[in-house]
């Protein structure tokens, strides 16, 4: 497996992950990957200015634990990674 380098630039973390628009569409439409929690949290991030926020900021805004957002995003990332590994094979 190739290791990707993440850099912090202007306060943002950036990484070229080589995922196409079609691959993202497939992931977001795949009912075996997506669940209500993933959709809800992704929409909350997407609704923020410039589609950016932190788990802490969303926790404050929505009166929820930042860890709940972090856990959901972490699990979504793991499911996405697993799906992409299968797609790339």
Write out the chain's pLDDT in tens, 89 residues.
Answer: 567 788 888 888 787 778 888 999 999 999 999 999 999 999 999 999 999 999 999 999 999 999 999 999 999 999 998 888 876 65
Q: Give how many domains the chain has, as a whole number.
A: 1
Does any domain span residue 14?
Answer: no
Asked if residue 11 is part of any domain, the answer here is: no
Q: What is the pLDDT of residue 88?
A: 62
Q: Is 8 within the bounds of a domain? A: no
In a domain, residue 1? The reply is: no
User: Domain for residue 6, yes or no?
Assistant: no
Q: Evaluate whether residue 7 is within a structural domain.
A: no
> Is 77 among the domain residues?
yes
Q: Is residue 68 part of a domain?
A: yes
Name every residue whose Cβ is closer than 8 Å to that of residue 47 and which is 6 or more positions away in sequence. Answer: none
Domain span at 54? 20-88
Q: What is the per-residue pLDDT for 12?
A: 81
């Amino acid at each position: 497996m190739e290791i990707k380098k993440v850099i912090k630039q202007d306060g943002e973390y950036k990484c070229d992950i080589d995922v196409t628009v079609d691959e993202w569409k497939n992931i977001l439409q795949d009912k075996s990957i997506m669940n209500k929690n993933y959709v809800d949290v992704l929409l909350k991030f997407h609704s923020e200015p410039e589609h950016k926020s932190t788990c802490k900021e969303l926790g404050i805004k929505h009166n929820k634990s930042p860890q709940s957002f972090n856990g959901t995003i972490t699990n979504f990332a793991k499911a996405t990674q697993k799906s992409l590994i299968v797609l790339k094979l």
